[in-house]
């Protein structure tokens, strides 16, 4: 009887932990004035016409740059500024009302040389950020790259 009681108690504890969202990233929510970003493509003519996805923010174009490494922490995010519209140009199942693909600024990057996107699908317990974008006007400039961003090796940024 004691074993059954213990199993029931442990089952309830595990269920409570899972329902409470323990382990789930709680990134900042969309603001009331969220920007609806439209994804575009940037063609790098200097490097075999390499295509990179881009977004525009405050008059600057941002292109794929890198991904997170193990040093990335939730506290590295500053705020959510908007979401990427999931239309027929960016996903196989268009849903222009879906606001789960969010865009964030970074806490240590006050010049907003980088942006981060993250898809919050509500399923994964600890999904990593998807991609970091770098402002293309910073190419060949000596800017500080946060230590938690790993360059994915796009020829454009070499």
Kindly tell me if the per-residue pLDDT of 7 is higher than 60: no
pLDDT on residue 92: 61
Please identify which residue in the block is written with the tokens 């969309």: 30
The answer to whether the beta carbons of residues 65 and 106 sit under 8 Å apart is: no
Q: Per the structure block, which two tokens stand in for 58?
A: 């405050």
- Give the mean model confidence (pLDDT) for residues 78-89: 86
First to last CA, the chain: 67
User: What rounded mean pLDDT belongs to the chain?
Assistant: 80
- Residue-wise pLDDT for 12-69, tens only, equals 554 444 444 444 467 788 899 999 999 888 787 777 667 788 999 999 999 999 999 9
Q: Which pLDDT belongs to residue 90?
A: 60
Q: What is the pLDDT of residues 84-101, one digit of tens each?
A: 987 766 666 667 677 888
Main-chain phi, psi angles of 5, to 5 degrees: -60, -45
More confident residue, 129 or 144: 144
Name the pTM for this structure.
0.77
At residue 128 the predicted structure's pLDDT band, cuts being 50, 70 and 90, is low
Pick 141 or 97 by higher pLDDT.
141
Given a contact cutoff of 8 angstroms between Cβ atoms, the answer to whether 74 and 94 are in contact is no
> Percent of the chain having pLDDT more than 70?
72
pLDDT at 50: 73
Which tokens go with 131? 């991609």
CB 52 within 8 A of CB 63: yes
Higher per-residue pLDDT: 6 or 120 = 120
Q: Is the confidence at residue 5, as pLDDT, over 60? A: no
Is residue 71 packed enough to be buried (19+ CB in 10 Å), middle (13-18) or exposed (0-12)? exposed
Rounded average pLDDT over 67-94 = 84
The residue assigned the tokens 């923010």 is: 57
């Amino acid at each position: 009887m004691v074993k059954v009681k213990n199993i029931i108690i442990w089952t309830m504890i595990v269920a409570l932990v899972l329902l409470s969202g323990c382990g789930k990233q709680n990134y900042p929510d969309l603001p009331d004035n969220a920007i609806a970003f439209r994804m575009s493509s940037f063609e790098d003519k200097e490097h075999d016409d390499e295509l990179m996805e881009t977004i525009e923010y405050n008059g600057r174009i941002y292109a794929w740059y890198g991904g997170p490494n193990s040093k990335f922490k939730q506290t590295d995010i500053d705020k959510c500024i908007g979401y990427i519209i999931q239309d027929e140009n960016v996903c196989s199942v268009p849903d222009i009302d879906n606001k789960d693909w969010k865009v964030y600024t970074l806490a240590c990057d006050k010049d907003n040389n980088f942006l981060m996107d993250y898809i919050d699908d509500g399923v994964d317990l600890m999904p990593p950020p998807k991609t970091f974008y770098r402002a293309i006007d910073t190419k060949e400039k000596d800017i500080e790259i946060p230590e938690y961003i790993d360059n994915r090796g796009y020829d454009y940024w070499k």
